[in-house]
Amino acid sequence: MSALFTLALFALYPARVFAKFGQQICSANPFLDPKHDPCNALEYIANNTLTATTVGMYLAVGFCHIFSSFKWGAKWMSSMTIGIFTYVIGFIFRFVLHNHPDSKGAYIVEYLFIVLSPCAFIAAEYVLLGRLALDLNAAQHLRISPRRVTPFFVASDVTTFLIQQRVKAAGGSISISSNDVKTNKLGSNIFLAGLALQLLSFALFTCMYIRFLYLVHRHSPEVWTRDRNSRLWYSDWRVLACAFLVSCAGILVRSVFRVIELSQGFKGPLATSEGAFYGLDTLPLFVAVSAYVPFWPGRFIGRQDVSPAPHASHSDDSEKVST
Ligand SMILES: *[C@@H]1O[C@H](CO)[C@@H](O)[C@H](O)[C@H]1NC(C)=O
């Protein structure tokens, strides 16, 4: 539902942006000196090799997600899958920017898709924790009930998304196309607030998740070792728990980067560095989404029908029978 909502906002947005173009004096030849071209928002020419590599890698991960969700279920991960494809749309606009470095429309669309798509990744992480806690029957170790943890954090996700949307609409697109430092500062500050809130709620979420793992380990050893006798090492839910942690770390790195980047303004040193963008946004997010390619949640969660190994003779078996 939230994915659909997000998608609808994505679809509506560029139309409003395109209506707000500003006029400006640009360099006669935008390729000569991109660093000092007032119309070049990136201040560099987007590298097509890097763009194509990224598109290829993200598409591969996206198709793996689709394949996995058909093979093993967990369709509730689809907001991440959709986010991967909208992220790729952003990169397609980097091809446009390579040829038309002064196009504000291409820049705004590129920026929006790349900065807002991770909201969909984050929404999937929120859903995953709720599902994991329910599947492990370990809801008591979450501070918020697992049935509420998803709505709560997804609501905060949508709120920060809307703040970012609003600002891009109200101030952002104006500030990008304006040379007025004041307008630029205002737009980036409000947008920064949205990103900072997102970072805050995701950091809180990650703490809650780590606390959850700790409490399960400490107080519910039978849950912690639930899959000990099962199948193969990579069928143990703790492997999924690790992939989940890696994924959260990737999103945190990117969120911290975006907050620092924007605190320097839309034209700060980090915002105008292609290396920083790839190293601190594209790569960490790639780690975050590809962590679930080998360890698709559907393989671990919601498959209780798979009976444990017959020779299992541990103390927790009697409990399982009685429940
Ligand atoms: C684009 O990036 C690749 C890989 O880093 C590099 O080899 C190539 O020289 C870059 N192209 C331009 C035009 O900067």
pLDDT digits (tens, 9 = 90+) for 220-265: 888 888 887 776 767 789 999 999 999 999 999 999 999 999 888 7
Q: Is 200 exposed, middle or buried (0-12, 13-18, 19+ CB in 10 A)?
A: middle
Least confident of 6-10, 27-31, 104-108: 6-10
Whole-number percent of the chain with pLDDT over 90: 41
CA atoms of 225 and 315, how far apart (whole Å):
12
Q: Which residues contact 63 (CB under 8 A, 6 or more apart)?
A: none
Taking the centre of ligand 1 as the mean of its atom positions, its distance from the CA of residue 52, in whole angstroms, is: 11
Structure token digits, residue 213: 């793992």
Question: Residue 274 in contact with residue 263, Cβ under 8 Å?
Answer: no
Closest approach atom of ligand 1 to CA 47:
1
Pocket test for ligand 1, best of 50, 51, 99 (most atoms within 8 A of CB): 50
Pocket test for ligand 1, best of 47, 54, 57 (most atoms within 8 A of CB): 47
| Confidence check: pLDDT of 39 > 50 | yes
47 lines ligand 1 (CB under 6 A): yes
Q: Which residues contact 235 (CB under 8 A, 6 or more apart)?
A: 227, 299, 300
Taking the centre of ligand 1 as the mean of its atom positions, its distance from the CA of residue 145, in whole angstroms, is: 49
Confidence of residue 108 (pLDDT cuts 50, 70, 90): confident
pTM of structure: 0.80
9 lines ligand 1 (CB under 6 A): no
Residues in the chain, overall count: 323
50 lines ligand 1 (CB under 6 A): yes
For the chain, the average pLDDT equals 80
Confidence at residue 73, expressed as pLDDT on a 0 to 100 scale: 85
Highest mean pLDDT among 11-25, 151-165, 214-228: 214-228
CA atoms of 252 and 240, how far apart (whole Å):
18
DSSP 278: I
Domains of the chain, residue spans: 11-302+309-322
Question: Residue 232 in contact with residue 245, Cβ under 8 Å?
Answer: no
Question: Residue 295 in contact with residue 128, Cβ under 8 Å?
Answer: no
Residue nearest to atom 14 of ligand 1 (CA): 47
Taking the centre of ligand 1 as the mean of its atom positions, its distance from the CA of residue 98, in whole angstroms, is: 12
- Give 287's Cβ-side CA count (13 Å radius): 19
Please write the tens of the pLDDT for every residue from 49-69.
Answer: 999 999 999 999 999 999 999
45 lines ligand 1 (CB under 6 A): no
Taking the centre of ligand 1 as the mean of its atom positions, its distance from the CA of residue 58, in whole angstroms, is: 19
CATH 1.10.287 fits 11-302+309-322, yes or no: no
